Amino acid sequence: MNIFTRKCRNIALAMLTDLKACFYILRINRSKGLFLQLSHSKTGFTLLELLSVIAILGTVLLVVFPKIHFFEDYTLNAEARRVAGLLRYLEESASAKKIYYRVWFYPEKELFKIETSIDGIEFNKSQEPLLRGLSLKKSVEMEDVVISSLGRINEGEAAVVFNPIVGAEPFVIHLKMGQRLLTIGYNPYSGKVKVLKGYV
């Protein structure tokens, strides 16, 4: 049993003892009707005491919540799906609207910026609210970006252009949280964006 678990158990037992001493019970006397008798309960715990302890333990778990691996996995998966959704939208929108999109990757800042162009030469910041950029959650890192023409980029900036006719060149983004890695891969030949476990 680690120190944190022992401390939580000791805190819960101390709170339970204090609650036991503070609560009074209602008693029913058949001959005199219902009245309050201010006496300590000597048999077990009341429902109110149990609910109070459950509420306190729930609060303690909320503090520990970010450290549990299950929730780290959930956060990383959610961020990977969010990035994949953005890339799918850009690929489909470029084709449907006949617009060029340039996506800037900033691995050190965990940031994506998007610019638009009608002719593919002069790019401006996107005016669409959903395409102003995407910033990863604090605990999720962009490990690197691998672009077929530029290679592996893990610092500075790099960009790919989504063309209305052929899409973008193949690229891969690696997201990391703790020891866990996810790969987001874009394939222009199928137009699909896939999320894979590990560093692929």
pLDDT in tens, 59-97: 887 777 656 666 667 888 999 999 999 999 999 999 999
d(CA 27, CA 51): 20
* Sequence ranges of the domains in the chain: 3-67, 76-197
For residues 31-55, average pLDDT: 69
pLDDT in tens, 89-129: 999 999 999 999 999 999 999 899 999 999 988 999 888 88
The answer to whether the beta carbons of residues 115 and 102 sit under 8 Å apart is yes
DSSP state letter for 128: S
Smallest CA-to-CA distance from 139 within 175, 172, 103 is with 175
Give the domain 76-197 fold. minor pseudopilin epsh fold (3.55.40)
The answer to whether the beta carbons of residues 72 and 65 sit under 8 Å apart is no
- The model carries a pTM of 0.65
